[in-house]
Structure 1
């Protein structure tokens, strides 16, 4: 049973990293710091930050418009 538990953790870590990479890429393309991905890891904060991020000014987009 112990070996199965190690594999479950390993698969969970790989899956989490696979989900974080595109999240960081999207955030960085908008001109924000890639460290915003940390909000995805906090259960209620992630839902709030999606809304904050959606309506915030995006430096990369604002630079193109000027």
Structure 2
């Protein structure tokens, strides 16, 4: 049963990442990293770094 919840939560994070990542110039296939436990945190950090670069321009 725990695996089902993990798949549901992964899907709930992958779908928004697929839409957000191209906006920041990151390939949408990197959203698969959300399947790894700390992958979502790493992607959010990467998006934050890109956001800082965009603000400097």
Q: TM-score, with normalisation over the residues of structure 2?
A: 0.51
Gaps in structure 1 of 5+ consecutive residues: none
2:29 match: 35
1:50 match: 44
Q: Answer with 1 or 2: which has the greater Rg.
A: 1
How many residue pairs get matched?
A: 54
Gaps in structure 2 of 5+ consecutive residues: none
Work out the CA distance in 1 between the residues paired with 2:9 and 2:45: 24
